[in-house]
Amino acid sequence: MKKFKYSEITPESIYKKRRFFIKSMGLGFGSLSLSTLPFVNNSIANTNQNKVTSFKDITTYNNYYEFGTGKSDPYIRSQNFKTKPWSIKIEGEVEKPLEISMEEILSLFPSEERILKLRCVEGWSMIIPWNGFSLNQLLSKVSLTSKAKFVEFESIYDPSQMSGQKFPVLNWPYKEGLRIDEAMHSLTTVVTGLYNQKLPNQNGAPLRIFIPWKYGFKSAKAIVKIRLVEKMPTSSWMWASPKEYGFYSNVNPNVDHPRWSQATERIIGNDIFAPRIKTEMFNGYGDQVANLYTGMDLKKYY
């Protein structure tokens, strides 16, 4: 893989005067060289494909149906969304149920920078410098019981602030789910910011989940409740179209969406005429996560 200087890949001026410090996240990462991007996608082999997406593109081209179905709707309609005060309940199959404020979360779990690739089911992708920490750190505070097999995330329901929730596009409030081993993987990230700034409203403020080897819709935004459960939860997209959106939602170029191919993707920020690139299994994170699905038929469990 070609090596790149950070001056070649970082589009934001706030990054020019400092070095990236990327913590090793374990589970196959090892020591990370500051001259390479092994934590993004090892198969991407040219400068244009390896550029961190600009702050402008990340924050103005979004899927966030609570604010509307257009890509610019979240940016336009979320600016007055109130994220203070904010607390999250963690309940269900836990020994110590917890309600924790956003201030406590930020105090207890210092953020680190994680440059991770987002791949949307619609066929576009970004490379985003998130700030956050592993979900397993938060879940360690509640002591899971032996019945905790899955994790369900629930987003806020507030049609007075979120105009998209006035329409039955999805089954509100938005819900998503992970298997417990997926949730406990170090790459499963609680996001609290991006580009070393506070997480913008249109990107899921004040707190969202990001699972880099899954399609972007799997990452619930503006979370108010985390529930540990014994049975597989039904996500909002599974409810909306079970034939199109399965529980696992892993990036798999060998399984087409019923209405389009998943074999290639368009990088946001590139020239509109730039060629699409080949989509990688597990979004390029196979070395870290493929072992979670050993023996599973990933065409059946899509």
| pLDDT recorded at residue 29 | 31
Domain membership of residue 300 (yes or no) is: no
| pLDDT recorded at residue 145 | 97
CATH number at residue 43: 3.90.420.10
| pLDDT recorded at residue 39 | 54
Domain membership of residue 298 (yes or no) is: no
Q: Provide the whole-model pTM.
A: 0.86
Q: What stretches of the chain adopt beta strand conformation (E)?
A: 87-92, 98-101, 112-119, 124-134, 150-155, 175-179, 189-194, 197-198, 208-210, 223-229, 264-267, 277-278
Domain membership of residue 299 (yes or no) is: no
| Domain residue limits at 166 | 6-293
| pLDDT recorded at residue 48 | 55
| pLDDT recorded at residue 297 | 97
Domain membership of residue 192 (yes or no) is: yes
Domain membership of residue 118 (yes or no) is: yes
In contact, 288 and 211? CB cutoff 8 Å: no
Domain membership of residue 1 (yes or no) is: no
Domain membership of residue 156 (yes or no) is: yes
Q: Average pLDDT by consecutive 10-residue portion of the chain (302 residues)?
A: 34 38 32 37 50 96 97 98 98 97 97 95 96 97 97 98 96 98 97 97 98 97 98 97 96 96 95 91 96 96 95
Domain membership of residue 262 (yes or no) is: yes
| pLDDT recorded at residue 23 | 33
Instruction: Specify the number of domains making up the chain.
Output: 1
| pLDDT recorded at residue 35 | 32
